[in-house]
Structure 1
Amino acid sequence: MRTRTGAACACLALGLAAGCGTSPPSRFYTLNPTVAPAAATSTLVVAVGPVTIPAVVDRPEFVVNTGPHEVKIDDFNRWASPLQDNLTRAIADNLSAVLGTSRVIRFPQPIAVEPDYRVVVEVRTFASAPGEAATFDAIWTVRRSKDGRTQTGRTAVREPVAEKSYDALAAAHSRAVARASQDIAEAIVALQRAS
């Protein structure tokens, strides 16, 4: 009887010890502008936002595609700030660099001057597959404030990810967002020329 009780206590202690193991530390990532900043020579004012994202990725954790209809939420790899804010900031920083203006602001921050252009972005796909690709598909609209003239476009990018790391995945998403930012900047320039 003592042997059974001792064995049961040992099993219980082992089970408790296994449950007290530490989980891996969380890692945090950001989207970064990939366009090198140019000298701010323009006085153009651009407001970026709102930027909307699919509900499935509107969370702090990375949402990873594991199959055609399956995703995994990775509790230990997270965005350092809300993804929507991350995207808005990256687009604004890229536009600032491409257009050569330091006056690119994120909507809805109040500003003392009416923006020359407002950029609205609807992200339709923001898919992550470590070691495969980062997929970004967005419809964006640029609206000129002085006359309401608009230009709408779509940027769909599948950016390869050579490594299975989340850092490489965040970098690929940053490159995809830079591609969309370049398309948006070209639309702003086209509207400027059409004045």
Structure 2
Amino acid sequence: MTLPSLRPIGRIFAILLLMAPSACGGLPGSAPTNFYILKTAVGLTADSGLSLAEGATVGIGPVQIPGYADRPQIVTFGSGAEINVSDFDHWAEPLSDAIKRVLTSNIATLIGAERVFAYPADFRPTKQSLQVAVNVIDITETGAGVARLTVRWHIKALYDNVVLARHAKTYESAATPGDYNSYANALSKLLGELSQDIAASLNGLNIS
């Protein structure tokens, strides 16, 4: 190809433009990003042993997560104080939203869909309205192949703004190190266990 008559700087720029497609064609392709979700628990059924106050409704949320986990990338623990942030393995939705979605669905299955909603919500609380606020202290997979969920939750009477109960627990399940699908499935299982404990902690609360 014959370049048109250009000043030196313009000619160099034109040569670079001609070379760009071939140069880019030689770059290796980047690795694809994998996305994972947390799933509602399988096998949960309504718990007939629970006794909630007549007309009680339950709002699930907000859910707070630690800052290190509040990002699209999946974070796991390394050795000592090290964490591993995976550039190519992401949560498909914000992690706090995913946890609230799963807890709301699981608890609705346990105590009745008509009683449970995600909080905050646009409604006027009544004397029978409860809120379950969840604070996740740790959520990770350890280098030893253990999915760990450490959580605190409290139950509040929304109308009177009074805390009725506080709870804390650590949940663990086996997960294959480096396998993010295994980790997501293990966390889903742990959230199922947490959902059952939250439902049980609502049992018999006096909100009159």
TM-score bucket (shorter structure): 0.7 to 0.9
Aligned partners of 2:125, 2:39: CA distance in 1, in Å?
27
CA shift for structure 1 position 152: 0.8
| Residue 168 (structure 1) aligned with residue 175 (structure 2) | no
Amino acid paired to 1:86:
A
Residue 193 of structure 2 is aligned to residue 186 of structure 1? no
Give the stretch that moved more between structures: 129-138 or 110-119. 110-119
Change in CA separation of 1:150 and 1:113 when aligned onto 2, cut-off 3 Å? closer
State whether structure 2 residue 71 is matched by structure 1 residue 64.
no
Distance 1:21 1:39, change over 3 A: same
Are 1:129 and 2:136 matched, yes or no?
A: no
Are 2:126 and 1:119 aligned? no
Match of 2:166 in 1: 152
Q: Which runs of 5+ in 1 are unaligned?
A: 1-15
Distance 1:144 1:129, change over 3 A: same
State the 1:149 CA deviation: 5.4
Kept after mapping to 2: 8 A contact 1:37/1:96: no
Bigger Rg, structure 1 or 2: 2
Cα deviation, 1:14-40, whole Å, max 9, x if unaligned, reads xx6797111221111111111535469
Once the two structures are TM-superposed, the CA of residue 144 in structure 1 deviates from its matched residue by 3.2
User: 1:129 offset after TM fit, Å?
Assistant: 3.5
1:76-155 equivalent positions in 2, closer than 5 A: 76-111=88-123, 114=126, 116-129=129-142, 132-145=145-158, 148=162, 150-155=164-169
The two structures have a TM-score, normalised by structure 1, of: 0.79
Q: TM-score, normalised by structure 2?
A: 0.75
* Distance of aligned partners of 1:28 and 1:130 in 2 relative to their CA distance in 1, 3 Å threshold: farther
- Deviations 1:127-164 (Å, cap 9, x if unpaired)? 12377011100110012346635111112111111464
Q: Distance in 2 between matches of 1:78 and 1:131?
A: 21
Give the whole-Å Cα distance in 1 for the aligned partners of 2:111 and 2:43.
11
Amino acid at match of 1:178: G
Q: Identity rate of aligned residues, in percent?
A: 27
**Number of the residue aligned with 2:35:** 28
Distance change >3 Å, CA 100–CA 130, structure 1 → 2: farther
Partner of 2:18: none
Q: Which amino acid aligns with 1:33?
A: T
Is the contact made by 2:154 and 2:163 (CA closer than 8 Å) also made in structure 1?
Answer: no
Distance 1:39 1:189 in 2: 13
Shift of 1:174: 0.9
Which letter does structure 2 place at the counterpart of 1:24? Answer: A
- Residues in 2 aligned to 1:54 and 1:149: alpha-carbon distance in whole angstroms: 22
Q: Structure 2, unaligned stretches of length 5 or more?
A: 1-22
Distance 1:22-1:118 versus aligned 2 partners, 3 A rule: same
Residue in 1 aligned with 2:19?
none
